[in-house]
Amino acid sequence: MSGEYDVIIRGGTVLTMSAKGDIIRDAIIGIRGDTIAFVGKSEESNEHRYTAGEALDAGGCLILPGLVNTHTHLPMVAFRGLADDLPLMEWLNNYIFPAETKHVNRQMVHDTARLAIAEMILSGTTTFCDGYFFESEIARAAVECGMRAVASAGFIDIDFPGSSGPTSHGEIAAKYLARWTNRSPLVTPALFCHSPYTCKPETFQVVKMAAREAGVPFLTHLAEAKDEVTITKKLYGLTPVRHLREIGVLDEKTIAIHAVWVDDEEIDILGDCGVKVSHCPESNMKLASGFCPLTKLLDRGVVVGLGTDGAASNNDLDMFGEMDKAAKVDKVVRKDPSIMGAETVLKLATIGGAAVLGLEKEIGSLEPGKKADIIILDTRKPHLTPIYNPYSHIVYAASGSDVKTSIINGRIVMKDRRILTLDVEDAMDRVTQIAATILQGRR
């Protein structure tokens, strides 16, 4: 290692999350532009031969790839706590859909996205995958705030602000993809059909065709709740997974969100088609949707990542909480404390999540040539002392508030818990005003 670097990270312990599973103590990382140029031990670096625009001291810290949130709805931070302790269908149809119909607009989506991005940066997420309406506003907010995003334009066959009629789905999808393809290195455009019970088969097929032609991810809520299975079977005579296979939308670019109510044959269908899965344990638990058969999916070779879902059904965007729940739920349901170990779960939140989004060659591990998406955890805290196993600490003891520095695409976006790319107070104030309007509308 020699020459000039834009950022140097010294000290600490690096969890590379590479295929070799390297852990590097007393490490040094060199970043040039948006890319990791060097990862190794300090003694290997010939430190006297380099210069850097900024040097970060990570002594006593854990350094790892930024976390990848494979499913969320950023604007739903405005509905955080609006309707809790309810079954999914009642929650959606009686509270969330009416609130969205009345209050969602372009400005609202942009303002709420900024707050959600602040929450994610503060808790160690460096890449998110969103599905919503007015999605260009979310992509725009991500670029403004320096956040990596897979921004999925949403489609649904009910009256909703920003949604389109069935005859214009394909046109709107193509227009959105043309707008955001290769526009920013931070944004990957994608398409999102809400679910098999809210989108007609022709909507799925038209939107999926647009996604296939562009080679971008296609997402949908799939087999999230028992009621969804009942409704889909009543409409089409098939379970959700079998229905989507029948209409030809399952392939390696499809991301199934939740995948709770799937039987063994359907797990084989997902595996055979190459479908990826976004597992959202906290949302599943809170809505009592059920248990995602995570171990069976992984054993079948299905690629799985973790997601928070929206803040209205979680109620936060902290991926550390998702890791903790993903590990513990599988253990208690399967009655086996040895399954879903901490290292496996951290992989789901990093390189696994990157693979779900098709970004594993760019992010998800700390290796030379990959994009510099890096977080630094401060371990000099009572609840993180002592450290025997860093993987265990991250999954079972740490929280998002322990992240002190975040780097995305080589840019320091948070340093010493201060976000450098947006005004957090302004973001909170704007969403507080939106919430006041929502509350007034309920009176």
Residue 163 — very low, low, confident or very high, per pLDDT cuts 50/70/90?
A: low
The 3-class SS string of the chain reads CCEEEEEEEECCEEECCCCCCCEEECEEEEEECCEEEEEEEHHHCCHHHEEEEEEEECCCEEEEECEEEEEECHHHHHHCCCCCCCCHHHHHHHHHHHHHHHHCCHHHHHHHHHHHHHHHHHCCEEEEEEEECCHHHHHHHHHHHCCEEEEEEEECCCCCCCCCCHHHHHHHHHHHHHHHCCCCCCEEEEEEECCCCCCCHHHHHHHHHHHHHHCCCEEEEECCCHHHHHHHHHHHCCCHHHHHHHCCCCCCCEEEEECCCCCHHHHHHHHHHCCEEEECHHHHHHCCCCCCCHHHHHHCCCCEEECCCCCCCCCCCCHHHHHHHHHHHHHHHHCCCCCCCHHHHHHHHCHHHHHHCCCCCCCCCCCCCCECCEEEEECCCHHHCCCCCHHHHHHHHCCHHHEEEEEECCEEEEECCEECCCCHHHHHHHHHHHHHHHHHHHC
Of 228 and 165, which is predicted with more confidence? 228
Each residue of 377-417: pLDDT tens digit? 999 999 999 999 999 999 999 999 999 999 999 999 999 99
* CA distances for 333 relative to 53, 290, 308, 336, angstroms: 50, 11, 20, 8
pLDDT attached to residue 225: 95
Each residue of 318-341: pLDDT tens digit? 999 999 999 999 999 999 999 999
pLDDT attached to residue 311: 96
Res. 276: pLDDT tops 60: yes
CATH code of the domain made up of 67-356: 3.20.20.140
Please give the average per-residue pLDDT across 290-306, as a whole number: 97
Asked if 295 contacts 277 with a C-beta cutoff of 8 angstroms, the reply is no
List the chain domain ranges.
Answer: 3-65+370-419, 67-356
Distance (Å, whole) CA 117 – CA 113: 6
Res. 164: pLDDT tops 60: no
Joined together, the tokens standing for residue 318 give 């902290």
Res. 130: pLDDT tops 60: yes
Query: Model's pTM, two decimal places?
Result: 0.96
pLDDT attached to residue 400: 98
Answer whether 3-65+370-419 and 67-356 agree in fold: no
pLDDT attached to residue 89: 86
Closest CA to 208 of 197, 221, 193, 222: 193
* CA distances for 186 relative to 140, 217, 304, angstroms: 10, 15, 22
Percentage with pLDDT > 70 across the chain: 95
Each residue of 342-372: pLDDT tens digit? 999 999 999 999 999 999 999 999 999 999 9
CATH code of the domain made up of 3-65+370-419: 2.30.40.10
Of 134 and 158, which is predicted with more confidence? 134
Q: How far apart are the first and last CA of the chain?
A: 64
Each residue of 189-202: pLDDT tens digit? 999 999 999 999 99
